[in-house]
Chains A and B, each alone.
Chain A
Amino acid sequence: MSTAKFKGKWVPWLFMLPTLIILAVFLYYPVIQTFKLSFYRVAFLGLKTKFAGLDNYIDLLHDSAYHHTVWVTLVITTAVVIIGLGISLAISMLANQKIHGAQVYRFLLIWPFALSPAVAGVVFLFMFSPGFGVVNYLTSLVVGHELNWLGDPTLAVILVIMASVWKNLGYNIVFYLAALQNLNTEVLEAASIDGANAWQRFWHVTFALLSPMTFFLLITNITYSFFDIFGMIDILTKGGPQDATNVMIYNLYRDAFEYYKTGLASAQSVILFLLVVFVTIIQFRTSGRQVHYGG
């Protein structure tokens, strides 16, 4: 496979040049700059920068508001991953049954693939608005009073999780359905003949065979909760109430573009970057090479 089919010393470089230049200029350079900026501090409304060593990192380490931001990110990520993947797998298994019209059901389930976090945010903001939102009307019928989804810290976190799970549903189902359809049914039949019950068949055969896909989706859902969630948070809660939904990427954005604390924001970028590197290393260790479907 590695045998060359064409000769030429500089021709391959010519072919790779556009990609390599763009990756160097717009990915490597800003990442290196981010590391550099994280050791500096901006003063006098951005007019002066001075070297600050590890001060930005030390500040973050001692800042309980930042600890809260990390905690919120982890809570939302965990919930989105577990609830989202659980629901998606259950729906995919059901839609994978051999029944009439299975194609139609599949079609009707995967369309949210293309949903954007902002659109999901806008629709959920309206549905859960106090006063005229339809969800509040329903809750007032059931519980007897309205719930303050956007004003109560716990409810706001739940709202963000629900909107995120909904937004990711199409994506997860597309990949789970594809994996289920490629599943070797002989193993399932053999397990059935061996007297395995439905639960055993699911857990020991289906779930085990699906684990590479589950792992891939785990990574993409974590990536969503770290980064893509930004648009949804910005529209739905703006990090509130009382910073309850202030995830790391949103906190970083505000520090950088609202408070102009460039150095502090860059230090947060570096921390996020290290988290991504950590997750990626785990991905490579456990699943070998997998294509990333983001950008």
Chain B
Amino acid sequence: MRRKTRDEILTHIALIIIVLAVMAPVLFALAKSTQTRAEVYHFPPKLGFGSAGLFNYKVAWTQYDLGLYMKNTLIVAGIVMFFKTLFSMLAGLGLVYYDFPLKEWVFYFILFTLMMPTEIMIVALFNEVSNMAKALGLENSYAVLTVPFLASATGVFLFRQHFSSIPSELADAARVDGAGPVRFLWSILVPISWNAIAALALIQFIYMWNQYIWPLVIIRENEMQLIQVGLRSLTNQQDTTNWGLVMAAAILAMVPPMLIFLLLQEQFTKGFALGQEK
């Protein structure tokens, strides 16, 4: 018994040290974000909270357009989250509840796109989308930031897997009641699929919020820029970089995805049925 308590205390100590070590960079950023310029450049470095309060946050938000970037990114992530979930569910419905020729081909057509991350075709995608945008007058728009990302194999397969695990009696009952596929989707599948929906929404939100290379190459107007590239422009003025301000911006940039993750964490684990044997 005594040995067990000693072991437990050691585990606690180890975990506390690890938690602090993992948090250290963010705690450091948090402390620096409240310091004045003089405090930031003080030697030896000051690690406590400074006397600037929320001043850096205010300046970052208004003068350095963080508010604008966050609004843009929120809109872009929201659009992609909504439509990708919708399109993935519809495709899942088609794949699971219908029989049609070429089904296997469609399956592989979708599957192969897992091997095509944006970065790999960045040159061709840039050419294609900027030509399209020019023709349609949609340069520097939400459209160029969202439309290429409205579909994904991840989403389709998540719902395909989820729908397949739902007892087929449900669909039979719906058909006997005379419900069409759309009503079946809306009044039966959606209510019992919230975990999968939340899991996909979470993944998509974080993915879009953290996007970097695409807005970097396709957006030419500061007005339409997204948050990660906005952070980049803050650090690019090397000599005059006000690090308190940059740290405030970094903290602001990590808050929304982190909140969503902590909020939906349980649904995420259930939605992906993590670790369960298939």
Contact = CB atoms under 8 A, between A and B. Distances in A.
Contact of B22 (A112, A178, A266, A289): A112
A294 B228 CA distance: 17
Contact of A127 (B25, B98, B124): B25
Given A33-B128, A257-B217, A280-B115, A114 B123 contact: no
How many B residues are at the interface, by size bracket? 35 or more
A18 B156 CA distance: 12
B232 interface: yes
B106 A4 contact: no
A26 B133 CA distance: 13
Interface string B183-224: 010000000000000000001001101101100110000000
A149 interface: no
Contacts of A120: 25
B78 to A, nearest CB: 16
B161 to A, nearest CB: 8
B40 to A, nearest CB: 7
A117 B213 CA distance: 11
A30 interface: yes
Nearest to A129: B243
Interface string A83-105: 00000000100110101110001
Contacts of B152: 295
B183 to A, nearest CB: 11
A294 B261 CA distance: 15
Classify the secondary structure of A's interface with B: helix
Interface residues of A, number: 99
Considering residues B110, B118, B254, which has the most beta carbons from chain A within 10 angstroms of its beta carbon? B254
B150 A230 contact: no
A30 B124 contact: yes
B138 interface: no
Given A230-B212, A257-B217, A123 B29 contact: yes
B149 interface: yes
Interface in B167-188: 168, 171-172, 175, 180-181, 184
Contact of B100 (A12, A19, A231, A234): A12
A107 B263 CA distance: 12
A116 B157 CA distance: 25
A132 B19 contact: no
B82 interface: no
What are the nearest 4 A-B pairs in CB distance? A182-B275, A15-B94, A231-B212, A114-B257
Interface of A: 1-6, 8-9, 11-16, 18-23, 26-31, 33-34, 37, 91, 94-95, 97, 99-101, 105, 107-120, 122-127, 129, 132-134, 137, 166, 169, 174-175, 178-179, 181-182, 213, 223, 226-228, 230-231, 234-235, 249, 252-253, 256-257, 262, 265-266, 269, 272-273, 276-277, 280, 289, 291-295
